[in-house]
Copies of this chain bind each other. A is one copy, B any other.
Amino acid sequence: MQLGLVGLGRMGGNMRERIRAAGHEVFGYSNDPNVADVKSLAEMVEKLTETPRVVWIMVPVAATEALVDEVGALLSPGDIVVDGGNSKFDGDGARAERLGKRGVGYVDVGVSGGIWGKDYGYALMVGGEKKDVDAVKPIFDALKPEGEFGYVHAGRHGAGHYAKMVHNGIEYGMMHAFAEGYELMNAAEIIDDVPGIIKSWREGSVVKSWLLDLLDKALDEDPQLSKIRGYADDTGEGRWTINEGVRLAVPMNVIAASVFARFVSRQEDSPAIKAIAALRKQFGGHAVKDA
């Protein structure tokens, strides 16, 4: 089938290749004319001669909202806009409604797999109405890994982004579990070969996982991680997961702790610990470190 694809960055660019490799026709648009197939959104839509026309938006969250409306305005009843970015789930319903007033369908897709997805396939979590989801199915089949896994129609509008949010929340927690174990083994006197232990777990262990494979790979490249600073950004989904736990009264101790640890990693100094040090000085006369 044909697909309009808006956004050809690290994710979008790879996805274009994978979709094309599956035999589909992709018209990619980007701000960067060097990678774009078409010069404008309008030209992209024009090239889509089959109906329903499907346009997949794969851009940073901040740019998505405006683009959904802009693309929607170029489409006709029956056509479909797909948001494959890391948008927050709670905006999907309103987008679907806005597009729906013009008869345009909306599908939200959470896409996992990072830079490895091009070769191995992407895990896709999809939200929207069945008829729209079905229309995009050939593209989903091209993007997902081979076999029975890697794709789900999770529910109504927003369910795809919701499932991706939870996926990322879980990912934060898993990463931090490995990180704590890694740090502990590095501190333990009797452990001689931390990278060797990590590597050994890749088969036969209960913690066998892709994240573990990647940690092993990172340690192959830099056994002490001596070239990397302990600084970690977060991309929103972890925070939203906590907020959803708070909203729905679901305890989130592990995922929250993993997100909070990233916050700490980005602080030059901790106002909270300043207060602790100030208190210790007050009641116990304990020495403080000068700022």
Contact = CB atoms under 8 A, between A and B. Distances in A.
A264 B270 CA distance: 10
A204 B257 contact: no
Interface in A164-190: 166-188, 190
Copies of this polypeptide in the complex: 4
A278 B217 CA distance: 9
A265 interface: yes
A62 interface: no
A126 B222 CA distance: 24
Interface stretch (A25-33, A69-77, A131-139, A195-203): A195-203
Interface in A276-291: 276-286, 288-291
Contact of A184 (B125, B177, B206, B252): B252
Contacts of A280: 175, 232-233
A51 interface: no
A10 interface: yes
Interface in A138-154: 144-145, 147-154
A203 B209 CA distance: 11
B200 A151 contact: yes
Contacts of A145: 203-204
A121 interface: yes
A28 B239 CA distance: 43
B179 A272 contact: yes
B262 A150 contact: no
A254 interface: yes
Nearest to A244: B184
A204 to B, nearest CB: 4
B192 A156 contact: yes
B211 A279 contact: yes
A261 interface: yes
A286 B196 CA distance: 25
A218 interface: yes
30 contacts: A10-B285, A112-B207, A123-B200, A123-B204, A127-B190, A151-B200, A152-B196, A153-B193, A154-B196, A154-B197, A155-B192, A156-B190, A162-B185, A169-B184, A170-B180, A170-B207, A176-B254, A181-B241, A182-B272, A187-B250, A207-B210, A209-B209, A210-B283, A219-B278, A225-B271, A230-B267, A231-B277, A231-B288, A254-B254, A254-B261
Interface of A: 10, 89, 112-117, 120-125, 127, 144-145, 147-159, 162-163, 166-188, 190-193, 196-197, 199-212, 214-215, 217-219, 222, 225-233, 239, 241-267, 269-286, 288-291
